[in-house]
Amino acid sequence: MSPGGSRAVTLLSGGLDSCVGLAMAVAVHGPRVAVLHAGYGQRTAARELESALAIADHYDVEIRRTLDLTWLGDMGGSSLTDTDLPVPDAAGADGVPTTYVPFRNATLLAAAVAWAEVLGAGEIYCGLHAADSAYPDTQPAFLTAFNDLVRQGTPETPRIEVRAPLIDLDKAAILRRGQELGAPLHLTWSCYQRQDRPCRRCHSCFLRARGFAAAGLTDPLEAR
């Protein structure tokens, strides 16, 4: 399959949400999906890349690209990239947590739009969801504004649309959808701190555990 045969670009971090997002893209477009992964200096970059590549292999994705966005982490401002800042646990303070990476999702989506233009792809899939997130760049208003920006900043042909099919779902509903689609949840990684085993303390580990419990499912990482 040639790059010009891609119909959709999917952002794939290696986590639960992006894995299910890819499963949904494949359900619509089959093998004509390109995968984009980015490292931005996060603590678990190596483990996330490992998961992303394994998920892409699972779906036999031929067109894939890994971006080096470590400059985003070099700017600091986030406990995901600055090891001098502690990663808050699940009982952290209210408001936007320190794990928020300034303007990360806009940066990732901008890269995905640029690649979609090159590939001639009309859709971008991402795992944004608002229900369990206090991040400003995971909310419906952000998605609407970004799609407006894409329409203003790209040619009319092909028209590119950013899709966030999980945006209104909580983690349990996302997991149920993933199970329905046969998504390889066992290949995903969620922990913010560790790369050998989940820390079970950070907010991402907490949401993962709560989601599996609410969905009535067993986390394959805990079953090992």
Residue ranges of alpha helices (H) inside the chain are: 16-29, 45-58, 70-74, 104-119, 140-153, 171-181, 203-215
* pLDDT on residue 209: 97
* Strand 64-68 versus strand 33-39 pairing type: parallel
| 3-state DSSP assignment of residue 8 | strand
Q: What is the 3-state secondary structure (H, E, C) of 164-211?
A: CCCCCCCHHHHHHHHHHHCCCHHHCCCCCCCCCCCCCCEHHHHHHHHH
Helix H or strand E encompassing 161: strand 161-163
* Average pLDDT score over residue span 202-207: 95
pLDDT for 223 beyond 90: no
Q: CA 202 to CA 104: how far, in whole Å?
A: 19
Domain ranges in the chain are: 3-215
For residue 27, pLDDT over 70 is answered with yes
How far is residue 174's CA from residue 9's CA, in Å, rounded to a whole number?
20
Q: Which CATH superfamily is domain 3-215 in?
A: HUPs (3.40.50.620)
Band of residue 1 on the pLDDT scale cut at 50, 70, 90: very low
- Are 20 and 183 spatial neighbours (Cβ–Cβ below 8 Å)? yes
DSSP symbol at 217:
-
Residue 68: strand pairing partners: 39
Q: How far from 180 is each of 115, 118, 126, 129, 185, CA to CA, in Å? A: 29, 32, 18, 18, 11
94: buried, middle or exposed (CB in 10 Å: 19+, 13-18, 0-12)? exposed
Give SS3 for 70.
helix
CA 144, CA 219: separation in Å to the nearest integer? 33
What are the pLDDT digits (tens) for 71-126?
Answer: 999 999 999 999 999 999 886 557 899 999 999 999 999 999 999 999 999 999 99
